[in-house]
């Protein structure tokens, strides 16, 4: 083989090209760390790492960030529509009114509460 043939077969790849291939295809790193003393297992740590693009992750069924409130505003406790939000606000107001009513001591001066 001549030097020209080697250059054609083996082209150096930049970091961007490598990262693009990893994100497109995906990369899985798995490993176990076990700590033992006198053949008695004290600790086991299982490590699993998946590196891929969001599109690839969704294609293989990984989409935990959709339901996580830290990563998505539409987490499991998000209010879906305006009607639900209005009903929730009305219920909170009703409960606050009940609390204010229950704290009043019969026959006491206005603003007096139980336990004070």
Cβ-contact 21, 52 below 8 angstroms: no
Which pLDDT score, from 0 to 100, does residue 81 have? 76
pTM, entire model: 0.39
107: pLDDT confidence band, cut at 50, 70 and 90? Answer: low
pLDDT tens digits for 19-57? 888 888 888 888 999 999 998 999 999 988 888 888 888
Which pLDDT score, from 0 to 100, does residue 18 have? 85
Backbone angles phi, psi at 22, to 5 degrees: -65, -45
Higher pLDDT, 19 or 105: 19
Torsion of CA 81, 82, 85, 90, to 10 degrees: -140
52 by DSSP, 3-state: which? Answer: coil
Which pLDDT score, from 0 to 100, does residue 20 have? 85
Which pLDDT score, from 0 to 100, does residue 77 have? 56
Cα diameter, the chain: 105
Domain boundaries, the chain: 3-103
% of the chain residues with pLDDT over 70: 71
Distance CA 94, CA 99 (A): 9
Backbone angles phi, psi at 33, to 5 degrees: -120, 120
């Amino acid at each position: 083989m001549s030097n020209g043939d080697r250059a054609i077969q083996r082209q150096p790849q930049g970091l961007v090209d490598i990262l693009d291939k990893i994100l497109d295809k995906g990369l899985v790193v798995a490993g176990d760390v076990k700590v033992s003393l006198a053949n008695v297992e004290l600790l086991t740590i299982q490590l699993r790492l998946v590196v891929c693009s969001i599109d690839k992750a969704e294609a293989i069924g990984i989409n935990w960030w959709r339901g996580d409130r830290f990563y998505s505003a539409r987490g499991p406790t998000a209010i879906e529509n305006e009607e639900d939000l209005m009903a929730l606000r009305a219920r909170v107001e009703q409960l606050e009114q009940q609390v204010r009513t229950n704290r009043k001591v019969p026959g006491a001066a206005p603003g007096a509460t139980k336990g004070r």
